[in-house]
Structure 1
Amino acid sequence: MSQTMSRALPQPLPSPVPQQARRPVYRRVPVRRILCLLPLAAVAVWVLQHRSLIGSGARQTLAANPWWLLVAVATTGFGWVAVSFARQGTVRERLPARRLFATQFAAGAANHLLPSGIGASAVNIRFMTGCGLPPARSSAALALYFLAEGVTRIGLLAVLFLAFPEALRLGPMLPDRSGAMVVAAVAAGVVALLVGALLIRPVRRLACTFLCTALSDARSLHRRPSRALALWGGSLAFPLLQGAGLVAVALALELEVRPPHVMLAYLAATAVAALVPSPGGIGSVDVALVIALVAAGAPAEAATSTVLAYRFITVWLPLVPGALVLGALVRAKIV
């Protein structure tokens, strides 16, 4: 009965639990969205740093023959197509063509932010690993591309130099005694660094693995005529198209140098400028091109105007669109 009476009595209400103060909810910004904006920010800083060069190049371009300038723009665009073929020729797997071309266009913008082609190499390795290739094979494909591009460029330079031995006066292009000593010291330091790295067992093991992978891929690729043709054809077409762009700009500005001599000057200048690790070749390529055109017989002022207009078309004009494409590829997780 006591239990019945206790149930009939009203039960005390539970004491109210104090509500915790609501904390403001902060939305986390995705890291990839920030990475999408980094290329644009880097390009903006780069443009501000080189605004005087960009302005000079734009003025020289506006004063030139527009039809030859359109030819220079077309050769620049076809250059990305040639690079896409060469990149496809470095791997056995079929890469998506549209994404491959967009990656090469975006890699051009990345290449002007880091020295010695590091930006373009990083973009291409990310693209290949995203397509399912292991990192070792992606690195081997990158090394094969650089090898083919270097061999074809030096081969073209040798052929043109033998065909037109009077085209360049090599005196202005050769470094003086102090410059030669600096180049020799840098080369000796690089060789010593490589030899010292190979003496370390883990580094030696990685190098042996990389070489075995690269040689195996190179043998298998050259057994497939389509891949070999894409690799060597694209590697040969790219410097020819770039040199043809400089020839078109020289014709637009009425530079008094024969087109084969301009092509030879371009190949010699880019070969020399490759030894100087500057972002996008800014400074090194420009100076080397001016010196090479002067060595080919052009007046210094006309050579400078030609180089500024050429670099405006090939570097500065596609820089912002390339950064936009790079940001879109990063956001889509393609690179």
Structure 2
Amino acid sequence: MTAADGPSIVAGRRPYWQMGITLAVLLAAVGMIASHRATLDSGTDQLAAADRGWLLLACLAAMATWVCAAVAQQGTVAERLPTGRLVAAQFAACAANHLLPAGAGAAVVNLRFLTRCGLSTRRSATALAVKAAAGGIVRCVLGVALLVTSPGTVPLPARVPHMLVLLPVAAGAVVLTVAMSGRLRRTAGRALCDVRDVHRCRARACALWGGSLAFALLHAGVVVAMVHALGLALPTGRVVMAYLVASGVAALLPTPGGLGSLDAALALALTAAGAPGHTALSAVLGYRLLTGWLPMAPGLLVLGLLARRSAL
């Protein structure tokens, strides 16, 4: 089996239940849109009248996310990756991510790019895993930092502090599962070796963690800019927390690009933060336009160009 055959074989073995969940979430999203058509029309009208300065700032933040993703990816490998093609690959991965469930599109594009740059399939997959883990850790740390520094800005249900006690229990269960499985233990050992290699070089560690942090903050910044463009006076910390919670919830549902799951979760989170329903929907529409829908067509063109030039 060649490296080129790997993604297709993996995709062919995708469990049917995952595809079923994807279709169910998409159908639920379509039903929700149909049942709230009037709210959607009102939200679209509000978006058309939004402040142009804040919209421009949101556009710049959205474009900067691809550069930050490239910086974080460079931090996972010792080899120097071609800068231009690396950024282009992140732009193409953003488009591909909206075609396959649960981030598989971006993973396949980046895996192909890294193997084309001379890395083995194992090292490429480990680099992607390290980048994904860093992104998840950064989002968790940002959420905890918001809760610690601004406890009054982010209202929490009374049960949340008690539920946090379950986190060490869940972490212990994961560690025990890895320790009991020989294959998982070997895989975790190789991953830890690669993580240690990353942190032996200060520049690589800074690129990985700095790029991951900037990526998360810029995505949250797009939502913040959209909220301000629509004239909402919500605290920035509350909007950032709404994005972090929504993106975490959407990651649990394997829909292409978080379609439906992220939209619903972010709209509900913004509504819980104090935004009116139609205005929250307008902010979600604006965020989706800038980070997913508008870049999709040029991203697919870049994807085809990279494949034609054997960069993927």
TM-score (norm 2): 0.78
Deviations along 1:199-237, one digit per CA (max 9) or x if unpaired, are: 6xxxx44x4553333222221221111101100000111
Match of 2:96?
110
Aligned length: 270
Q: Which runs of 5+ in 2 are unaligned?
A: 1-25, 161-169
Cα contact 1:168–1:292 (8 A) shared by 2: no
Q: Which amino acid aligns with 2:308?
A: R
What amino acid sits opposite 2:104 in the alignment? I
Alignment partner of 1:74 is 2:96 = no
Q: How far apart are residue 114 of structure 1 and its match?
A: 0.8
User: Which residue is 2:261 aligned to?
Assistant: 284
Instruction: Show the counterpart of 2:250.
Output: 273
- Give per-residue Cα distances to partners, 1:69-127, cap 9 Å, x unaligned: 01001001111111100000000111000000000000000001111111100100000
Question: Of 47, 53, 57, which residue of structure 2 is paired with 1:61?
Answer: 47
Find out whether 1:89 has 2:66 as its counterpart: no
1:138 alignment partner, one of 102, 114, 124? 124
Q: CA deviation at 1:59?
A: 5.0
1:332, distance to aligned residue in structure 2 (A): 1.2
Is structure 2 residue 204 aligned with structure 1 residue 227? yes
Match of 2:227 in 1: 250
Please report how far the alpha carbon of residue 282 of structure 1 lies from its aligned counterpart in structure 2 after TM superposition: 0.7
Higher deviation after alignment, 303-312 or 223-232: 303-312
Distance 1:66 1:214, change over 3 A: same
Q: Is the 8 A contact 2:89 2:303 kept in 1?
A: yes
| Counterpart position of 2:23 | none
In 2, are the aligned partners of 1:58 and 1:312 still within 8 Å (CA)?
Answer: no
| Superposition pairs of residues 289-308 of structure 1, within 5 angstroms | 289-308=266-285
Deviations 1:136-157, CA, capped at 9 Å, x for gaps? 1011101100111111110001
* One-letter identity of the residue aligned with 1:214: A
Query: Against the structure 1 CA distance between its residues 58 and 146, is the aligned structure 2 distance closer, same or farther, given a 3 Å change threshold?
Result: same
Asked if 1:126 is matched to 2:112, the reply is yes
**Is the CA contact 1:167–1:296 (under 8 Å) kept in the aligned structure 2?**
no
Residues in 1 aligned to 2:46 and 2:58: alpha-carbon distance in whole angstroms: 14
Query: Which of 100, 118, 122 is the matching residue for 2:86?
Result: 100
CA contact (8 A) 2:44 2:282 kept: no
Question: Larger C-alpha radius of gyration, 1 or 2?
Answer: 1
Matched residue SS, 1:116: coil
Identical residues among aligned pairs (%): 48
How far is the alpha carbon of 1:62 from its aligned partner? 2.5
Question: Secondary structure at the residue paired with 1:317?
Answer: helix
1:318 is paired with a residue whose SS is helix
Is there any run of 5+ residues in structure 1 with no aligned partner, and where? 1-45, 175-187
- CA distance in 2: counterparts of 1:323 and 1:58, whole angstroms: 26
Determine if contact 2:154/2:237 at 8 Å carries over to the other structure.
Answer: no
8 Å CA contact 1:129, 1:135 repeated in 2: yes
Q: What is aligned with 1:162? A: 148
Single out whichever of 288-297 and 79-88 deviates more from structure 2: 288-297
Aligned to 1:181: none
**Which amino acid in structure 1 is aligned with residue 207 of structure 2?**
A
Kindly indicate whether residue 128 of structure 2 is the aligned counterpart of residue 151 of structure 1: no
Distance 2:265 2:152 in 1: 19
Q: Which residue of 2 aligns with 1:261?
A: 238
CA distance in 2, matches of 1:333, 1:62: 41
Provide the residue aligned with 2:311 in structure 1. 334
Residues 106 and 322, structure 1, Cα contact 8 Å, conserved in 2? yes
Equivalence for 1:6:
none
State how far apart, in whole Å, the 1-side matches of 2:193 and 2:266 are.
38
AA at the equivalent of 2:129: A
Work out the CA distance in 2 between the residues paired with 1:71 and 1:323.
24
TM-score by length of 1: 0.73
Is the 1:168–1:295 Cα contact (8 Å) retained in structure 2? no
Mapped to 1, the partners of 2:271 and 2:150 lie a distance apart of 16
Aligned CA distance change for structure 1 residues 302 and 58 (closer, same or farther; 3 Å): closer
User: Which residue is 2:194 aligned to?
Assistant: 217
Paired letter, 2:226: V
Q: Mean alpha-carbon deviation: is it higher for 269-278 or for 98-107? A: 269-278
